[in-house]
A and B are shown apart, each in its own frame.
Chain A
Amino acid sequence: MFKLGKSLFFGAVFLYLYLPIIVLTANSFNTSKYGIKWRGFSWKWYERLFDNDALLTAAWHSIIVAACAATFACVIGTLAAIALYRYKFRGKSLMTGSLFVMLVAPDIVIAIAFLSLFLLLGISLGFWSLLIAHITFCLPFVVVTVFARLRDMDPNLLAAAKDLGASDGLMIRKVLLPLLSPAIISGWLLAFTLSLDDVIVSTFVTGPSFEILPLKVFSLVKVGVSPEVNALSVLILLGSLTFVILSQMILKKGKR
């Protein structure tokens, strides 16, 4: 009896988490434009989507920003994780503290802070402002992922490299980076998705000269339900799904 209740509970939670997505996906193939009544299968909304140049440009912009932001976040984040793990220095707790605050701070707080900064520095809102903001909010996620891997690692490996006469640089290149690479790759994938999904920070730090996909989607869905947006949403969901699966596989492989 209890077991049945438990299964029902899990079923209900997963139904809640997945039903809206399933209905959305089904609807994107629906010939009918309005409502959820099924009127037959059709690809036409997807076809129409690929004719929409503005959307494709925005998608391309988003992918470029996400790829650059994820790459820079990985470089800086890996340096930060190694520094926090290996060295003692003044301001270390400040560094940990500001990364932690970034991790928990609501996006809206980060967003207006960046808007104020860019206004003060005179950086016009567009690609660069967007990139800097995205690198910064992705950074703590990379640090956490890489640091977790460092902590699980056998510290003797580093000591052995040291004893055998490796310099810091050589040890990092030959021992540390190969060991960390699964964590760095999965951190990159996480940063890429975070950047691609962000609405809140981007709303504040990009201008009309550089449109990105989430903001375009936001302006479309605010108006109402439209079948092209359904198709686009399904493609975005598929993209995220690919990334989760990839990152889970890489992390699992790294643990073995």
Chain B
Amino acid sequence: MKVKGFFAVIAIAIVGSWLGLFIAVPNVLVLITSFLENDPQGFFHLQFSTAAYHQVFDPLFWRVFLHSFEMSFKAMIICLTIAFPFSYWLCQFSSKVRGWLLFLTIVPFWTNSLVRAYAIKFILGKKGLVNSTLLFIGVIDKPLKLLYSEFAVIFGLVYVLLPFMILPLYASLEKLDKNLLSAARDLGANGLQRMWYIVIPLSMPGILAGCLAVFLPAMGMFYISDLLGGAKNLLLGNLIKTEFLSTQNWPYGAAMSISLIVLMAGMLFIYYKAAQHVQKRGEFDV
């Protein structure tokens, strides 16, 4: 069908120009900025240079970069470990109970993540719930330093992002054909085999979508490390924010952002391949 009619032309023109101007152009600008020279007087200097990328891989900066990467990755793995059994068992409840449990999962998904990150201070703080409880029981005699550590940052990331892992996982596990599991059971597969050969491969798109939805935002959430992490546990978002708003080394900040985009593209590619793979397999099975 060719585009015809006034409405179609107008709709496509509005949406297309909005996306072009406010998505394509800005990202090209960041790409260009990352290849410019840093100007100590501020922002950048109109001169081609790959110095910003050298700086990303400079051992000194690379360590900070890697540490932020590592914290986000750990948060993602912990989210997956909690969310997988959670979503799997969630599918087994009766639909009424399931509706309520899903609702309880969606509420934090919608609530302000800054406020939720702040709320963690009441749990991990010096006079927080954990320390007060442990002191009261008498397990410890002076408060543990839980806040302002790598542990606190990961705790906060998992806390804020867990619903983002549960929802895509649940969506893909819910679609799983239960007959496949009964067939496998009849053919003598034990629980572990059913999990490994059927549930995990078929829910792979959901697993990867959840990992994307946790890992990528986790890299950017500077306020979590600002509130819970202290100066030593910075996320990539903190580094980029510093370069853009304080140090004003825009090329370096842009280069870090481009590295994050490249990482995202890689993860999207894997996701796309896995989704294709599952679809193909599904066709053969039917």
Contact = CB atoms under 8 A, between A and B. Distances in A.
Contacts of B278: none
Contacts of B226: 218, 222
Q: Is the interface of B mostly helix, strand, loop or mixed?
A: helix
Given A21-B119, A240-B111, A240-B112, A106 B23 contact: no
Nearest to B244: A112
Interface residues of B, number: 81
Given A9-B89, A108-B257, A116-B29, A200 B222 contact: yes
Nearest to B15: A80
Given A36-B127, A132-B22, A105 B29 contact: no
- Among the interface residues A20, A82, A193, which one has the most CB atoms of the partner chain B within 10 A? A20
B2 A88 contact: yes
A109 B257 contact: yes
Contact of A200 (B111, B123, B220, B253): B220
A135 B22 CA distance: 10
Contact of B261 (A105, A225, A229): A105
A19 B120 CA distance: 9
Given A102-B23, A116-B30, A240 B260 contact: no
Given A109-B264, A203-B245, 5 more contacts: A83-B8, A105-B216, A113-B27, A119-B43, A132-B22
Interface of B: 1-3, 5-8, 11-12, 14-16, 18-19, 22-27, 29-30, 33, 43, 82, 85-86, 89, 101, 103-108, 110-116, 118-123, 125, 127-129, 132, 159, 162-163, 212-213, 216-217, 219-223, 226-227, 236-237, 240-241, 244-245, 250, 253-254, 257, 260-261, 264, 268
18 contacts: A10-B89, A10-B101, A16-B162, A20-B159, A80-B11, A87-B3, A88-B3, A105-B264, A108-B237, A116-B33, A117-B25, A168-B5, A168-B8, A199-B113, A200-B223, A218-B226, A236-B112, A244-B107
